[in-house]
Amino acid sequence: MKKSVITLAVSATVGFGTIFGGTSVITEAASISSLKGEQNKIQNQRSNINSTINQKNNQISNLQNQQANVQDEITRLDDAITDSTNKINETNAKLESTKEEIMKLQGEMEVIKDRIEKRNVLLKDRARSYQDTGGMVNYIDVLMGATSFSDFVDRANAVVTIMEADQAILKEHEADKKELETKQEQVKTNLESIQKMVTDLQTLQQQLNVQKADKNKALASLKQQENEAHEGLMDLQEQDALLAAQQSAIQQAIKNEQAAQAKAAAEAAAAAKKAASSNSGGSSSSGGASSGATPGVSSGYWTQPAVGYLSSGFGQRGSERHVGVDIANHTKVPIVAAADGVVIRSYLSSSYGNCIFISHSINGQVYTTVYAHMSTRLVGSGAVIKKGQQIGVMGNTGDSTGQHLHFELHKGPWTQDKRYAINPVGIVPLP
C-alpha cells in the first residue's frame, strides 16, 4: 500500500444488525459506554469531513468566480482584437489609396518634367535668336553695339523685356521644381506613417493574441482545479457515507447490548430462584473452510488472517507510514477473517486492489480490519463473517509489488487519515 487516498463508497448497511445480535460478538457487560465513545469518535470524524466539504464548496465557488472574471477578460480581448482587425483593414485601404495617389503624382511629375524640358528649349531658342540677330550672347555687348541713342534705348528696352521674361520663366521653373519636391516629400511621409500604423496595429494584435492565449491557459487551469475539487468532494462524501454506515452498525450494537444485558439480568434472577449455578464456557471457535494453506483457527477473539511470512511490519517505512502488516506467500493461499464481524465493503480499489473491510465489535470495542491486494474476493458487502472463514485469496492487485496480504487493524472505525490504525502484533496472531 503506497497511496493513502482511496475512494470508498458504501453500498449498503443492510445486514449489520445480525452480527451484533449473534451469540458471541458482544459478551461483556458495561460496554455500552465504550460503544458510545466509538460513536463520538465517528461523529468527530464526520464533522471534520463536513467542514472540509464546506471548504471545498467555497473553493469551488471561488474558482467559478475566477473563471467568470477570466472569461470577461477574454471577451474584452476578443473585442479589442476585432477592433484592431477593423483598423488594420481600414489602414490597409488607406495604404492602397495612398499608393494610387503616388501613381497619380508620378503622372503629374511627368507633366512637370515635360514643362521644364519645354522651357529649357525655349530659353535655348531665345539665346540662339540673340546670337542670330545680334551675333552676341551677352546683353552688355548688345547694348554696347547701339548705333545711336534711340537704338540704345530700343536695345535696352528689348534687353529688359527679355530679361524679365527669362526671369519669370526661371521663377516658374523654380516653383515647379519646389512643388514637385514638396509633393514627393509629402507623399513619402504619408506612406511611411501609414506603413508604421499598419506595423503598430499588427504588433498590438499580436500582443492581444498572446494575452488571450494566456487567459485561455489560466481558464483551463482554473477549470482543472475545479474538476479536482469536485473529485475531492466526491471522495469526502464517500468517506462520510462509510462513516455513517459504521455509525449505524455501532448504533445497532448498542441496542443489541442493551437487550443482551436485560436478558442476562432476567436469567440471573431466574437462576437465583432455582438456586442452581452453571457456567457457560463460550467457545467461539468455528472452523472456516480450510484448505491446505489455511491457518489454524486460534481460540480467543482473533486468528491469523493468512499463512506466510511477515514481509513488512507496522510503522514508518522510509518516507511513508505503513499502517498495516504485510504477510507474503509464494502460493495463492486463502485469506480468512481475523475475527467475527460483518463486511462493511468488498470492492476493487485502485490502491488497495481487491479489498475487504470488516467491522468487529469485541467487548463493546469496535475494531475494523482491512484485507488488501487479494486476487479474489469471496464475500460481499453486508456479509456476516465468522472468525477464520475464508473471504478471499492472496494476490498482487492494486498498488502492490509482489504477492502479499496487506492487513490493517483499526481500534475504532477506518478513517481516511487512518488515525485509529494500531499494530496488530500481540493482538492478532501473525506468522
343 phi/psi in degrees, rounded to 5: -75, 120
Instruction: Check the CA dihedral 273-277-278-279 and report its sign.
Output: positive
Closest separation in Å from C-beta 355 to Zn ion: 11
Closest separation in Å from C-beta 419 to Zn ion: 18
What are the DSSP E strand ranges found in 319-364?
320-322, 325-328, 334-336, 341-349, 353-362
CB 307 within 8 A of CB 332: no
Q: Which residues contact 303 (CB under 8 A, 6 or more apart)?
A: 295, 296, 297, 336, 338, 339, 387, 388, 428, 429
Closest separation in Å from C-beta 409 to Zn ion: 12
Q: Which three cell numbers stand for residue 270?
A: 431466574
CB-nearer residue toward Zn ion: 343 or 405: 405
Closest separation in Å from C-beta 406 to Zn ion: 3
Q: Which three cell numbers stand for residue 22?
A: 449473534
CB-nearer residue toward Zn ion: 294 or 351: 351
CB-nearer residue toward Zn ion: 1 or 366: 1
CB 15 within 8 A of CB 213: no
CA distance 154 to 383: 143
CA distance 250 to 43: 12
At which residue does the C-alpha cell 491469523 appear?
304
Residue at 423: amino acid letter: N
Closest separation in Å from C-beta 365 to Zn ion: 24
Q: Which three cell numbers stand for residue 12?
A: 449498503
Exposed / middle / buried, residue 375 (Cβ in 10 Å: 0-12, 13-18, 19+): middle
CA distance 419 to 49: 14
Nearest residue (beta carbon) to Zn ion: 406
CB-nearer residue toward Zn ion: 155 or 406: 406
**Angle made by CA atoms 315, 368, 406, in degrees to the nearest 5:** 45
Which of 350, 366, 342 minimizes the C-alpha distance to 22? 342
CB-nearer residue toward Zn ion: 1 or 242: 1
Closest separation in Å from C-beta 1 to Zn ion: 5
CB-nearer residue toward Zn ion: 326 or 340: 326
CB-nearer residue toward Zn ion: 1 or 26: 1
Closest separation in Å from C-beta 361 to Zn ion: 25
CB-nearer residue toward Zn ion: 49 or 323: 323
Closest separation in Å from C-beta 47 to Zn ion: 30
Closest separation in Å from C-beta 310 to Zn ion: 11
CA distance 313 to 425: 9
Residue at 239: amino acid letter: Q
Query: What is each CA distance from 221 to 157, 207, 216, 224, 259, in whole angstroms?
Result: 95, 21, 9, 5, 57
Closest separation in Å from C-beta 301 to Zn ion: 23
CA distance 414 to 408: 9
* Contact footprint for Zn ion (CB under 5 A): 1, 324, 326, 406
CB-nearer residue toward Zn ion: 130 or 347: 347
Residue at 363: amino acid letter: N
SS3 395: strand
CB-nearer residue toward Zn ion: 288 or 353: 353
CB-nearer residue toward Zn ion: 215 or 406: 406
Closest separation in Å from C-beta 9 to Zn ion: 22
